[in-house]
Amino acid sequence: MKKFISILSVWALLMGLFTSCGRSDEERSKILKIYNWADYIDEEVLTDFPKWYKEQTGEEVRIIYQVFDINEIMLTKIERGHEDFDLICPSEYIIERMLRKNLLLPIDRNFGKTPDYIDNVSPYIQAELNKLSQPGRKTTDYVVPYMWGTAGLLYNKADVSRDEVMSWKCLWDPRFRNKILMKDSYRDAYGTAIIYAHARELANGTITVEQLMNDSSPEMIAIAEEYLKKMKPNIAGWEADFGKEMMTKGKAWLNFTWSGDAVWAMEEASAVGVDLGYEVPLEGSNIWYDGWAIPKYARNVKAASYFLDYICRPENAIRNMDMTGYVSAIATPEILEERMDTTLTESVDVSYFFGPGAEHARVDPVQYPDRKVVERCAMIRDFGNKTEVVLEMWSRVKGDNLNSWIVILIFAVFGLLFVWVVYKRINRYQQKRRHRRRRSWYKKK
């Protein structure tokens, strides 16, 4: 009887576990877990999705939203499979790495009665991201492009002229000693140093920006390290996010930054009477892309796929652009019309992005760079097995980022400490000798 009761108890426990798992799976199918950069989406776009999703599918869903600030942190969580995120937003080089490692699921574009808005993505952006494709895995089958932009120089017009920022040379100009903020980004820093080091070759057309930035040979890494160390006396700080605020407050003259941050800073600075500008130097620069993807361990692929379709609707793309300052990959006539600014005196050729008819568009050239600017830029690919070597170089560059007077001060402090320790030991030795002499004298008495 006791044996029967024991068996019955085990059976009840197992049934309870299975029932619990069933409830968990059922609840998880009503949850969409999103992992994104901070301040990189309009909150109302997130809030409105569950209602839209129910209208399309008749199903309930709620969003669990988390943020990251470094691509590699996000990648580590996905690689280890400890997090069951349904959607992530990696940058282009991480997309390439994840495709290579087979960490993404293909997007299911069978949306039933719902229109497929993913085709609203600019063919130009699709073509660029498809350069990252791996054998048997085409990028745009796994990724929906989200935002994109350039890397360039944000500058205070009261202290720096436009001519000066039209060349990367200004980053090495002694006139800007301790007046420059640089993004704490080893990839952007590497690309910039390599481009400037080969400015002459770029000018005469013997090499391209794309070839340079994606050359991670030992020779190129050494050149990048040499030039970055020469730049350091001008660097007031390596920043991840505070640069735009420092520029807005007039505390720095130059900031190597991304176009979306530049837009935000220029708007904020204008409100307080500070005039900032942004340019992509003539030698060329990095052009970057972020995209949405569904990780291998996602547990709500259906809601994730619908969310990708949802953010490609023009009205949602506009809301996200307004909130972030960055430029959506969506290229519909509605967006072009909404972005037109008749107060601008000059037009830009953005037909590469929007198609024919956009050769003379009056849109913000920081957000939508002219064709000539785009043509002198390129995407930095994943460094692959050279990543660690480049990171070691970057650590050496930043590791000795101390002004000479600080180094002198450190040595002086250690010198004083050494003298003090020696003095204390000599003093202690002398005290012991005096003590022994006294004891010896008393014994003789």
Give per-residue pLDDT as tens, 203-231.
999 999 999 999 999 999 999 999 999 99
Residue 433 is classified by DSSP as H
Q: What is the pLDDT of residue 405?
A: 45
pTM of the predicted protein model: 0.83
> Would you list the DSSP string of 372-388?
HHHHTEEPPPP-GGGHH
User: Which 8-state DSSP code applies to residue 10?
Assistant: H
120 by DSSP, 3-state: which?
helix
How many residues appear in the chain? 445
Question: Taking the CA atoms of the chain, what radius of gyration do you get in angstroms?
Answer: 29
**Res 245: pLDDT:** 83
Question: How far out from the chain centre does Cα 293 lie?
Answer: 16
pLDDT at 432: 55
291 touches 89 (CB < 8 A): yes
**Hey, CA dihedral for 384, 385, 386, 392, is it positive or negative?**
positive
Query: Could you tell me if 217 and 380 are in contact, meaning their C-beta atoms sit under 8 angstroms apart?
Result: no
H/E run at residue 377 = strand 377-378
Predicted local distance difference test score (pLDDT) of residue 306: 98
Distance CA(310)–CA(63), nearest Å, equals 14
Q: Distance between CA atoms of 279 and 171, rounded to whole angstroms? A: 13
Extract the residue ranges of the chain whose pLDDT is less than 50: 1-23, 401-408, 410, 438-445
Amino acid at 241: D
List of residues 6+ apart from 198 with CB closer than 8 A: 207, 212
φ, ψ of residue 46 in degrees (nearest 5):
-65, -45
For the chain, the first-to-last Cα distance in angstroms comes to 96
Scored b (16 or more CB within 10 A) or e, 160-180 reads beeebbebbebbbbeebeebb
**Res 420: pLDDT:** 61
Question: CA–CA separation, 380 vs 132, rounded Å?
Answer: 11
Those residues with Cβ within 8 angstroms of residue 183's Cβ, 6 or more apart along the chain or in another chain: 151, 189, 238, 239, 240, 243, 256, 257, 258
User: Are the beta carbons of 213 and 380 closer than 8 angstroms?
Assistant: yes
User: Within a 13 Å sphere around the CA of 251, how many CA atoms are in the beta-carbon half?
Assistant: 11
